[in-house]
Amino acid sequence: MNEQRCSGGREVHLLKDICLDALAGFTEVEWFRHFVLPRSLADYYYTRLQRRRLLKDHLVPVVLHAKSIEADLAESPVTGAALIHIRKCTQLEKLTFSSVPSDDSLCETSLLETVRCFHNLRWLELTGVSTVTDSVLAAIAEQNKHLTILKLNECANFGDKGLKALGQNCHFLKCVDFSSTQITTRGLDALANSPCSLTIEEFLANRCRKLEAEAVEILMTNFPSLRILSLEDCRQILFAPEAVPVRMERKGQLSWFIFC
């Protein structure tokens, strides 16, 4: 019986591959962009393209639909224009996207309209997206209160107001990456006085030039679940002697600590 089920499963996947291979030659044709695939086939096509890092702007509306729970676009050559097509995916739990060099297709207003469509995000990763501002981050935080993983590496236009919004709304954060952003010690203090200070296990803030030595003490003192901490190339912390004793006190409890 089990062998029959396995055989049947393989046949279904083979049939899906045959269907998608038959369509492969038409993906660049205009009519294909408006093609509606059955949901199961769209999900299968998305997984295949995502694993091969072959998702493109015009394929996003074909493979993602209103019931999609994941849009993992970070490693594929998609632009900000593709984000417009995921507004229909109101049940998303995971969204990742990396800005493409010289891409100016995504303005702050458009990004705001996009993030306001989501209420169930658990994992959000936006890399190098300059239109992530405090207002955008506040909208994300207010609507996605169960967010646990938030990576905003190189989103250089948000700062302390965004952190304050996170602290007020997202009480289950576990992993955050604020590298190369405008955050300061004041923003960390807002997080330290919020419920997520008890849940954050991983905190990355590399190349945050505005962070001061006090940031280390805040992190070590107020984040008891912290296991991974990286503060690489934070110039104001680099030679701060007052940060060293606190760092050494909890170093044994951290699985990884970069301080350089």
Q: Class for domain 107-258, per CATH?
A: alpha beta
d(CA 78, CA 158) in angstroms, rounded, equals 23
d(CA 48, CA 42) in angstroms, rounded, equals 10
Both ends of the chain: CA-CA distance in Å?
Answer: 59
In the structure encoding, which two tokens stand for residue 140, read together? 């994300």
User: What are the structural domain ranges in the chain?
Assistant: 107-258
CA-to-CA separations, 126 to 108, 115, 237, in angstroms, rounded: 13, 11, 26
Ordered per-residue pLDDT tens for the chain, 260 residues: 444 445 555 666 776 777 666 666 656 656 666 778 889 889 998 999 999 998 999 999 999 999 999 999 999 999 999 999 999 999 999 999 999 877 888 999 999 999 999 999 999 999 999 999 999 999 999 999 999 999 999 999 999 999 999 999 999 999 999 999 999 999 999 999 999 999 999 999 999 999 998 898 899 889 999 999 888 888 888 655 555 545 545 555 665 565 54
